[in-house]
Amino acid sequence: MLIDIVSVRVLDQFCLEIGFEDGVIGTVDIAQLISFQGVFAPLADRHFFEQVRVNSDIGSIAWPNDADLDPDVLYSIVTGEPIALDRPLIEA
Protein backbone atom coordinates (compact mmCIF):
# COMPACT_ATOMS: atom_id res chain seq x y z
CA MET A 1 0.00 0.00 0.00
CA LEU A 2 2.74 2.41 1.06
CA ILE A 3 0.65 5.42 2.01
CA ASP A 4 2.76 7.58 4.30
CA ILE A 5 1.60 9.22 7.50
CA VAL A 6 1.97 13.00 7.31
CA SER A 7 0.45 14.16 10.61
CA VAL A 8 -0.22 12.94 14.12
CA ARG A 9 -2.02 14.54 17.05
CA VAL A 10 -2.38 13.14 20.56
CA LEU A 11 -5.96 12.86 21.79
CA ASP A 12 -7.42 11.50 25.05
CA GLN A 13 -6.03 8.38 26.72
CA PHE A 14 -3.82 6.55 24.20
CA CYS A 15 -5.65 7.71 21.08
CA LEU A 16 -3.96 9.40 18.15
CA GLU A 17 -5.43 11.29 15.23
CA ILE A 18 -3.41 10.22 12.21
CA GLY A 19 -3.35 11.88 8.79
CA PHE A 20 -2.20 10.12 5.64
CA GLU A 21 -0.76 11.54 2.44
CA ASP A 22 -3.93 10.69 0.49
CA GLY A 23 -6.02 12.95 2.76
CA VAL A 24 -7.49 10.21 4.96
CA ILE A 25 -7.61 11.17 8.65
CA GLY A 26 -8.70 8.92 11.47
CA THR A 27 -8.31 7.94 15.09
CA VAL A 28 -6.40 4.93 16.40
CA ASP A 29 -6.47 3.73 20.01
CA ILE A 30 -2.89 2.58 20.46
CA ALA A 31 -3.79 0.77 23.71
CA GLN A 32 -6.01 -1.56 21.66
CA LEU A 33 -3.18 -2.20 19.20
CA ILE A 34 -0.13 -2.92 21.36
CA SER A 35 0.79 -4.32 24.73
CA PHE A 36 2.97 -1.93 26.67
CA GLN A 37 5.91 -4.33 26.81
CA GLY A 38 9.39 -4.44 25.34
CA VAL A 39 10.12 -1.48 23.09
CA PHE A 40 6.55 -0.25 23.70
CA ALA A 41 6.83 -0.25 27.53
CA PRO A 42 7.80 3.45 27.75
CA LEU A 43 4.59 4.40 25.89
CA ALA A 44 2.57 3.53 29.00
CA ASP A 45 3.90 6.78 30.48
CA ARG A 46 1.62 9.54 29.20
CA HIS A 47 4.45 12.10 29.00
CA PHE A 48 6.49 9.73 26.84
CA PHE A 49 3.47 8.74 24.74
CA GLU A 50 2.85 12.41 23.91
CA GLN A 51 6.31 12.65 22.33
CA VAL A 52 5.06 10.79 19.23
CA ARG A 53 6.18 12.37 15.97
CA VAL A 54 5.94 11.68 12.24
CA ASN A 55 9.13 10.05 11.00
CA SER A 56 9.18 11.00 7.33
CA ASP A 57 12.10 8.65 6.66
CA ILE A 58 9.83 5.66 7.28
CA GLY A 59 6.46 7.31 6.53
CA SER A 60 5.07 6.46 9.93
CA ILE A 61 4.89 7.59 13.53
CA ALA A 62 7.67 6.99 16.06
CA TRP A 63 8.70 7.80 19.60
CA PRO A 64 12.10 8.93 20.93
CA ASN A 65 13.15 5.33 21.69
CA ASP A 66 12.63 4.49 17.97
CA ALA A 67 9.45 2.48 18.63
CA ASP A 68 7.30 2.78 15.52
CA LEU A 69 4.16 1.28 14.01
CA ASP A 70 3.54 0.00 10.50
CA PRO A 71 1.72 2.68 8.49
CA ASP A 72 -0.15 0.02 6.46
CA VAL A 73 -1.61 -1.45 9.64
CA LEU A 74 -2.63 2.00 10.88
CA TYR A 75 -4.19 2.86 7.50
CA SER A 76 -6.15 -0.40 7.56
CA ILE A 77 -7.46 0.37 11.04
CA VAL A 78 -8.51 3.91 10.08
CA THR A 79 -10.15 2.99 6.77
CA GLY A 80 -11.40 -0.52 7.54
CA GLU A 81 -9.76 -1.70 4.32
CA PRO A 82 -7.70 -4.90 4.37
CA ILE A 83 -3.96 -4.60 3.99
CA ALA A 84 -3.03 -5.01 0.32
CA LEU A 85 -0.30 -7.54 -0.33
CA ASP A 86 2.26 -6.92 -3.03
CA ARG A 87 2.51 -10.65 -3.68
CA PRO A 88 0.58 -13.79 -2.72
CA LEU A 89 1.36 -15.32 0.66
CA ILE A 90 1.84 -18.73 -0.99
CA GLU A 91 3.38 -19.01 -4.41
CA ALA A 92 2.55 -21.93 -6.70
Question: What is the pTM (predicted TM-score) of this model?
Answer: 0.86
Whether residue 21 is contained in a domain is answered as: yes
> What single-letter amino acid sits at 43?
L
Whether residue 45 is contained in a domain is answered as: yes
Rounded to the nearest integer, the mean pLDDT of the chain is 92
Question: Using CB atoms within 10 A of its CB, is residue 57 exposed (0-12), middle (13-18) or buried (19+)?
Answer: exposed
Whether residue 22 is contained in a domain is answered as: yes
Find the domain containing 16 and state its range.
5-79
Residue 26: pLDDT above 60?
A: yes
Res 92: pLDDT: 54
Whether residue 88 is contained in a domain is answered as: no
Whether residue 90 is contained in a domain is answered as: no
- Rounded to an integer, the average pLDDT of 60-73 is 96
Contacts 24+ apart (CB under 8 A), 9-14: 10/49, 10/50, 10/52, 14/43, 14/49
Res 69: pLDDT: 96
